Amino acid sequence: MAKFRTNHERKGSGSGSMIIRVGLFSAIIGGLFVLFNKFTGDVSSPSSPEEQAAEPAGEDFSYLPGSTTGTVIHHKYFSLSYSEEHEQAEWVAYRLNGEELKRPWVERVDNFRPDPKVRTGSATPDDYRRSGYSRGHLVPAADRAFSEEAMDETFYMSNISPQSANFNKGIWRELEELARSWAKRNGELYVVTGPVLSMPPKGEVGENRVSVPAAYFKVLLDAEEPQVKGIGFLIPNEVSFDPLYDFVASIDKVEEVTGLDFFGELLPDDVEREVESNFNIDLWEFSKTKYQERIEKWNNQ
């Protein structure tokens, strides 16, 4: 302020119009910067804990599990609980909608990058280079292929976990593809998936010491009446030639192994007990064709 006043006194009244023009130019640049961040999702600094946990207005997050880390982050198309100790999400949760899956897929762009909402800093793509492990998605890119924005979010490193290449391309792919087919048939599924961090890791990768999980879990819930049903999976992080249904578990079993609590606020207590303690494979159509393709092709890619 004093500087502008001094310049005005020295240069006369003509400099006043220059100041106004500079001010307007700065305001325009500032406005464009705000709009750029709004539409690209760029964040210049990590979010505060309050911003991380803030639930978008109007959204129902009763299907989210409890967080053992206290770091719940909401992106537009999925939520996660981040484990700083293991430098990855302990779980990701989202709705898998059949109508969205039926839309034409956008082109995949592998935009792996740190998650700006992880206040402590997430893993980076460099952590995985020359590690021997794949950058495995927890929320699959194909589950969010109905829009560029939705798919782009899945490439935050908070959504990535070190997976054995033949696990990622094999049995994990088969499960992801089956989940999409079940959502198309049933209408919508609640999905929670993540690494089993309660088990000792197989090792670590990168400067950020990203834990290599020994296994992964996925739980799916069809909450539509009159036949509410759920199913869980616990799968070692390694190549598998066994049928996918060999890895089916009750949601209660997945809770026991992971230490997480699923769907406690979404379902009435009596329905939750029934759905989570039992599962019926006959209600979930498995694919012999996909299994055969995994054995003959995907495991060897």
Angle at 110 between CA 109 and CA 112, to 5 degrees: 135
Q: Phi then psi for 112, rounded to 5 degrees?
A: -65, 130
pLDDT in tens, 2-45: 332 333 333 343 444 433 343 444 444 444 433 433 333 333 34
**DSSP3 helix / strand / coil % (the chain, rounded to 5):** 40, 20, 40
Candidates 74, 75, 86, 137; catalytic one: 137
**CATH 3.40.570.10 domain position(s) in the chain:** 48-300
Strands 229-236 and 88-97: unpaired
CATH topology of domain 48-300: Extracellular Endonuclease; Chain A (3.40.570)
Instruction: List, for residues 97-139, the tens digit of each pLDDT value.
Output: 999 999 999 999 999 999 999 999 999 999 999 999 999 999 9
Which band of pLDDT confidence, cut at 50, 70 and 90, is reported for residue 49?
low
Q: Residue 157 pLDDT more than 90?
A: yes
Question: What number of helices (H) and strands (E) belong to the chain?
Answer: 10, 11
Establish whether 137 is a catalytic residue: yes
Full-model pTM: 0.81
d(Cα 197, Cα 203) in Å, to the nearest integer? Answer: 12
